[in-house]
Amino acid sequence: MTCKRTSALMMTALLLCIVGSAFAQGASNARRLYDPSTEITLKGTIARVTEISGRGAWNGTHLTLQTDNRAYDVHLGPSDYVSNSGFKFSTGDQIEVTGSKLQNGGVEMIVAREIKKGDKVLTLRNRQGIPQWSQGRRRSY
């Protein structure tokens, strides 16, 4: 009986180590996808709304934001999260985007943390970049 109990405890400890490692890796991925030190706020007009097919069965919403100086590719998050939040974005909408300005494969992009449209605010990520749709779990986007 003691041997079985010891084996069960060892298996539990191993499982906790694996889960802890996966959680830590997820938190590390979050920091790579969103860098608070590169956060900027931009105001402009939506020039284009695009839905990009992602991993699995979900799609991501992207915006092309035209400012006075140039156009930016803005990554919001899963399309179902955006639409379930009661937000709809259309060409010509005036918005303010706060997000992390990053380089991905030599292409500059903004990973949005918050978007203001009129008097409404859509919060996509917390200040560390962890997505609101993950509910504490790390789901990359």
CATH value at residue 121: 2.40.50.140
Per-residue pLDDT at 21 exceeds 50: no
| Per-residue pLDDT tens over the stretch 52-73 | 887 766 789 999 999 999 999 9
Overall average pLDDT of the 108-125 stretch: 96
Query: In which domain, by residue range, is 121 found?
Result: 34-132
Q: Residue 49: inside a domain, yes or no?
A: yes
Q: Residue 101: inside a domain, yes or no?
A: yes
Per-residue pLDDT at 43 exceeds 70: yes
Q: Residue 44: inside a domain, yes or no?
A: yes
Overall average pLDDT of the 69-86 stretch: 93
**Is residue 89 within 8 Å of residue 117, measured between CB atoms?**
yes
Q: Residue 18: inside a domain, yes or no?
A: no
Q: Which of 130, 19, 7, 36 is nearest to 77 (CA)?
A: 130
Q: Residue 84: inside a domain, yes or no?
A: yes
pTM of full prediction above 0.75 = no
E strand or H helix at 72: strand 71-78
How many CB atoms within 10 Å of residue 49? 15
| CA separation for the pair 104, 126 (Å, rounded) | 21
For 22, 37, 74, 96, the CA distances from 47, given in Å and listed in that order, are: 39, 27, 11, 13
Contacts of 31 (CB under 8 A, 6+ apart): 128, 129
Per-residue pLDDT at 116 exceeds 70: yes
Q: Residue 102: inside a domain, yes or no?
A: yes
Query: Total domain count for the chain?
Result: 1
Q: Residue 14: inside a domain, yes or no?
A: no
| CA separation for the pair 94, 104 (Å, rounded) | 26
Q: Residue 51: inside a domain, yes or no?
A: yes
